Structures are given as structure tokens and as C-alpha cells.
Amino acid sequence: MQEPNDLVGLSRRMDSCGIQRLPAELIYTIFLKNTELDDREHNRLVTARHSSPVCRLWRAILLSTPSFWGQLFDLAYVDRTTDSWRQEILSRTGDAPLWVTGRIVQSALPFLQFIMENKWDRVRFVDLETLEELPNQTWSFMGKEAPSLEWFRIQDFSMQQEHIQVLPALFNGVAPRLRAFWPPSWFEFNMTTPCLSNVRDLTFFPGHTVPVIFSLLKSMPRITRLRIEGNRYVSIRPFHHTDLSKIDLPLLESLQIRGRHCLTVLSILEHIKPSSPCSLHVGFIKGLHSYDKSSENAGPPPSTIYDAVLKWHLPYTNKHPPTCVAVEAHQWYSDLVTQVNIWDFDVDFPTAEARWGVEIILDTYGRPFVRALAPSFIAVKSLHLRGVHRVQCDLHSLYSAFPSVTELTIHEGVFEAEAFYTRAGDGEAVLFLLLHTVAVGGDYDGNLQSVANFLEYRIRIGFPPSILDISAVYKVYDDPEVVDRLGQMKGLTIIWPTRRGQEDPRKS
């Protein structure tokens, strides 16, 4: 069977017309793009199957490239096919590397076990998830040598964490190509196994203590992405480790810490020396809101944690000034009425993963931290707000840290226009002097009356936005009063919804 570099001249032997005049290598690249692993809803196998019978050239290209079919083993889709078609797909892979992905369900277990028992030495990429507890023998392949494995992630959303499974030796100590490792949290194995020495992308889970984490990181100088997960629902006794040896991770580009106590976060940030700069993403921090300096075991104040975050944050934002930032207040922390989360995004929120992020309690410790962060926000043009109505304290000082915002996007929650008004006599400056676009996201569940209030306020004070984008809002025309208010704002360009069922009834 041929691979892409063997396809030279293949298209010349076919009828040369239309798309067939493209080089076979380019057509193959298009096939790969159309069937890439993008989201769970995309049935990549159906896309490939529909491409094959289009013409002789397309079929010849697809059948001559085993690696193409080797990337299509998504359990959710393979499970819905017949056994004969599954065997056909497997035969088309030849000896090519295999990608095994998707959600594990009981009916797919036999085929998964067949692949992992008989083809495990060819498996390069594993990305599986499960919502139910599965038999222990399902994971027996994790004890076998993995000569081809490069990427491994298993996400378990069942409650299987209560049943810890011990592995005598992860991959039998052999996984020379392994670069990314995200194991299920309910596995225990020897963390000093040599098969992790070349890993670049690693995730630790709540059961991994700081000393265990550091003992492994000492033998992982090549790591570039590190995630340390906790559990925001389960309290673990905090401890500030001051006796750890500092670790130099010269290639570390990204550190994410979620659901850990603030003392644990402090221990990690104080003892890891990263590359410069390294992005830091800290969320669901425990203990910040409950600090009591009068307590006998109070420990370091929150300002110590914020100072440690700044030492990571400032070098990164000096080199990569954020231009798109989201300010959020999470609903599962509804009792913390002064907490916000600030995330920086490469592209528009909320589709992309945050490059860096931090959680802040807007109290006597958090407000000075916001002021220290403010210089790094000078280049922010796009500001996204989600659920900030839950924060029951004045956010004017927080918003004033974004003086260059030109586009304001409102997401899930209620939009309180009054929070953006300048109060007479308080010496407050007008927010967002450069604002020209207000957008409302499709996840917004408030009414547009408050948005109209905000726009009318901006007109009154002489800083009117130029554009209102409500194209993603559902049922805009259910409120004719607000539609008329918006339509009467002179100089405002409105981008209305265009989806079926949302047409302006005034035009009918």
C-alpha cells in the first residue's frame, strides 16, 4: 500500500478534469483536514466513507493510504457500524499507526479490547472517556509495553475514583515515544517509571501530593506543559511545603493548577523555576476566601500567594501582552460574592483554551493585586463578561484596569448597566473611553433592556458606541419595545439576527 509520498503521479493516471487536476498529495491533505479530530459530534468515519466513492482518483488515494484509516477509530462511531465494516476499516489500516478515541460504552468494549490486545503495539494516540464504571480488565493494556504510543489521555467521569486500581508497572516500563500523559485519576503506579522520562505534557491528579509531584519532575527536564489537578468539592488538609528542593524546568511553557489549596499553590510556585516566560493558569483556589489572620494556624496571608503569582505573571505578559480577556464569576462559587476569574485568550472567548488565568477575591488582599496586574492589561482591546452580576461588590476599579477596550461582549448571566455608570462626586473616570462595539453572546440569558440602558447612558455622556452586535441572541424580536429603543439610537449600526425564525416582524 502507498503512503502520501508514494502518490506522485497517481493523479496523472486518472482522468484530468476539475479537482482531479490537483496533485494527489494536496487532495490527501484535504481528506486529512476534513476528518481531523475536532469535536465529538463530527462522525469522521462517515466523512471518509462518503469521500471514497466520489470518483476513481479519490478512492485510489484513500485506499492507498493506510495511515488515513488508522486515525478514524472513534469508538462512538465504530460501535454503530456492522462487524464486517469494522473489520474492513481495520484491514485498510495495514500496518499503520492507530488512533483510538471516543467515549467508551459497554457495547463497544469487545472491539476496544480486541484492538488493545491484538494491535496495541501499533497504537500511537489514545484519547478515551467514560461515563460509567468499567471492569478492571478493560485497562489491562496499560501494563503492556507501548512501543508506538505518543499521546495518552483517559478521562473518567464516573465515580470510579473510589476503586483504586494498582498497576505493577505502567506500560511495563517501556514507552519510548510517549510525549503526553493524562492518566485516569483512580490509577496508582510507580511514578518513577522510566517510560515517563521523555514526556512533554503531563497531568497530576488530587491523589498526587506535592512531594510526589516534585520527585517525578526532577527526572523530567523536557516537560513543556504541566497540569496539577485538585478537587474543588473535597477538602484536603493544606500544608505549606518550605523544605522542597527547587526544580529547574527550562522548557516549561505552561503551568495549570486547579482545585488545590492556596498553600499548595504557593509551595509549587515558590519551588519551580520555569522558562521565561511561562504562562500560569490558576483556578478554583481553596482557602483564599477563608483566611483568618487571628487564627493560630493562619499561615501566610493571601497577599503572599498573589505575590507569587505576580512573579510568574508579569514576565509572561511583558512578552505576550493580552489583547482578549474574560472576566468571569462562577456559579458553583455563589457563596463567594467577591470572587472573579480573569482569563487571557489567543482568540475569541469562549471557544479557545485560556493562555493564562487567575482567581481573585476582591477583598483587602485582592484589590492591591488587581492594581498590580493593571499595567499588563493596557493592550486589551476585547473584554468578555460572564456572570459578573453574581459579584456583589463594586467592580468599577476592576473595569478601570482595561482602559484600551474597544469591544465589550456580554455573555451568560444578567447585565447590570448601572455597574458601568460613573458616579457623580466620587472622582471616578468614565470607563472604556475607546469603546466602539458592544456584542451580546448567544449564551446571554438576560434581557436587552439593560443593554439599551447602557447604550443610552453612553450616548448621554458623549461616548456612544458605533456598533451593536446582537446577531447571536435568540428571540430578539419578542420585545418590540427594546427593538424600537435600539432602532432610534442615531449613529448606531445594529447587526440583527439573520437565522430563520428571528426575522424582524416589522419587515413582514
Residue 13, amino acid: R
Please say whether the beta carbons of 267 and 339 come within 8 A.
Answer: no
Q: Which pLDDT does position 125 carry in this prediction?
A: 92
Q: Which pLDDT does position 3 carry in this prediction?
A: 54
Please say whether the beta carbons of 434 and 400 come within 8 A.
Answer: no
Please say whether the beta carbons of 332 and 258 come within 8 A.
Answer: no
Q: What Å distances lie between residue 322 and 49, 123, 258, 374, CA to CA?
A: 43, 39, 21, 11
What the block records as the C-alpha cell of 109 is 468494549
By CB atoms closer than 10 A (0-12, 13-18, 19+), residue 126 is buried
> pLDDT 10s digit of each residue in the chain, 508 long?
445 455 544 444 444 545 666 666 676 676 666 666 666 666 666 666 666 666 776 667 666 677 777 777 788 777 777 788 788 788 878 888 888 988 888 888 888 888 999 999 999 999 998 887 788 788 889 889 999 999 999 887 776 555 556 677 889 889 999 999 988 776 777 766 788 888 999 998 887 888 888 888 888 889 999 999 887 555 555 666 667 888 999 999 999 998 888 888 999 999 998 877 899 999 888 888 777 787 777 778 889 999 999 999 999 999 989 999 999 886 555 445 567 788 787 655 555 567 788 888 888 898 999 999 999 999 999 999 988 887 878 888 899 999 999 999 999 878 888 889 987 666 678 999 999 999 999 888 888 999 999 999 999 999 999 999 999 988 787 788 999 999 999 999 999 987 544 554 445 4
Write down the domain spans for the chain.
1-96, 122-199
Distance CA 52, CA 360 (A): 53
Distance of CA 448 to the CA centre of its chain: 29
Triad 103, 104, 107: Cα angle to 5°: 125
Distance CA 143, CA 478 (A): 59
Give strand ranges (E) for 135-258. 151-156, 165-166, 180-182, 187-188, 201-204, 225-229, 247-248, 254-258
Check whether the bond before 465 is cis (ω within 30° of 0). Answer: no
Please say whether the beta carbons of 44 and 35 come within 8 A.
Answer: yes
Q: What Å distances lie between residue 153 and 43, 87, 108, 417, CA to CA?
A: 20, 25, 18, 44
Q: Which pLDDT does position 508 carry in this prediction?
A: 46
Q: Which pLDDT does position 500 carry in this prediction?
A: 44
